[in-house]
Amino acid sequence: MRYQSFNLRLARLREAAQNFGWQEVLLGASAQGRPIVGFIQEGGGQRILAWSLMHGNEPTGYEAILAFMRRPKYESSYFLLPILNPDGAEAFTRSNGEGVDVNRDARAQESAEARALVMAAKRFHPHIALNLHDQRPRFYPEAGSMPATFSLLAPKGHPDVPTPAQQQAQIKAQSILARWTQLLLPSWKGGLARFDDQFYPTAFGEFFQEQGIATMTIETGISLGDWSRAEAATQLTHLLTDLDAWQEEAVMDPGPYLALPMNASPANEWVIHHANGVLHLRLHEQVAAGVYSCHWMVDTWLDQGPTWMESRTTHAFGSPPVGEVFTTEALQAAGLVPDLGLKI
């Protein structure tokens, strides 16, 4: 489910918390007055901090965390922030209510959302941190022919020479991602990639890795049969559950993770061969007055990139400029829109 209001998302979380023994913690309020909350469940073993909807139009991690909260008590201890950016989640925008990209505010901490996340880490003292995001359909494993449904990253803790603690944190993160790579490969072969660990000093992955917290970023993308990412959310819940059984002494060779192809872009999302040319459209999602819709925006056709959908029609589209939007209804009238599962 790509969009729900903030209030509905929070109500679902609170119901899960009440039914499955999670303690709600208020960490602050957004610029528009919405609460920034976390949910704690104390166990033993690893202490795991995870957050989603840092970017308000990236809800797959939220769905995975919600499903994770709806299961019986775990062995490890968890602090979950499923809606880190409430204003962005309400508006379905990447930035917060003040136009700030929270994932570039780790150092300055000018936003309430960044301060809330730092407060959670200081209170909880995590061993592991999980940063859950969505990526656009345009990404694919380098030299591949399928979308990158899962792109993984164990960021650096220092741009040049890490301390032993920073290096160990990255190795631990790589080890977990290596295990997850092996778990994912049977079902998602061809749909896995990794990011270059170029150091971004203002990002939260690097910020926490620098402190010796084993930090991982997971970007979920589409699969050819599921643009809604529902299957990816289910798989992500399985990974979170697997982490509960992970043991510190079980550090494994990071080779499977490091052997993943790099994340590449851009792919062609939908190419339509029409009466007088070729039209390339990209998916464009938006929320207006609380109503979700998806349209298709004209973009440059890249004949060297992979293509996710291809159609042919005798209809003539002319030469629409890059950026022009075709509504789903207009394309459906021409019999051209597949069902991508992108419903409210």
* The predicted structure's pLDDT at residue 222: 97
* 3-class state of residue 86 by DSSP: helix
Q: From first to last of the 344 residues of the chain, give the pLDDT tens digit.
A: 689 999 999 999 999 999 999 999 999 999 999 999 999 999 988 999 999 999 999 999 999 999 999 998 899 999 999 999 999 999 999 999 999 999 999 999 999 999 999 999 999 999 999 999 999 999 999 999 999 999 999 999 999 999 999 999 999 999 999 999 999 999 999 999 999 889 999 999 999 999 999 999 999 999 999 999 999 999 999 999 999 987 766 678 999 999 999 999 999 999 999 999 999 999 999 999 999 998 999 999 887 889 999 999 998 899 999 999 998 888 888 889 776 766 53
Instruction: Look at residues 123, 110, 109, 4 and name the one whose alpha carbon lies nearest to residue 57.
Output: 4
DSSP classification of residue 281: E
Packing angle, helices 6-20 and 60-69, rounded to 10: 20
* The predicted structure's pLDDT at residue 337: 77
Task: For residues 85 and 112, give the distance between their C-alpha atoms in angstroms, rounded to a whole number.
Answer: 9
* The predicted structure's pLDDT at residue 245: 83
What are the φ/ψ torsions at residue 314 (nearest 5 degrees)?
-85, -5
* The predicted structure's pLDDT at residue 145: 96
> Which residues have a Cβ under 8 Å from the Cβ of 303 and sit 6 or more positions away?
none
* The predicted structure's pLDDT at residue 344: 37
Instruction: Look at residues 139, 155, 151, 136 and name the one whose alpha carbon lies nearest to residue 216.
Output: 155
| CATH number corresponding to 6-264 | 3.40.630.10
Report the largest interatomic distance among the alpha carbons of the chain, rounded to a whole angstrom. Answer: 65
What are the residue ranges spanned by the domains of the chain?
A: 6-264, 268-333
Instruction: Look at residues 39, 44, 41 and name the one whose alpha carbon lies nearest to residue 80.
Output: 39
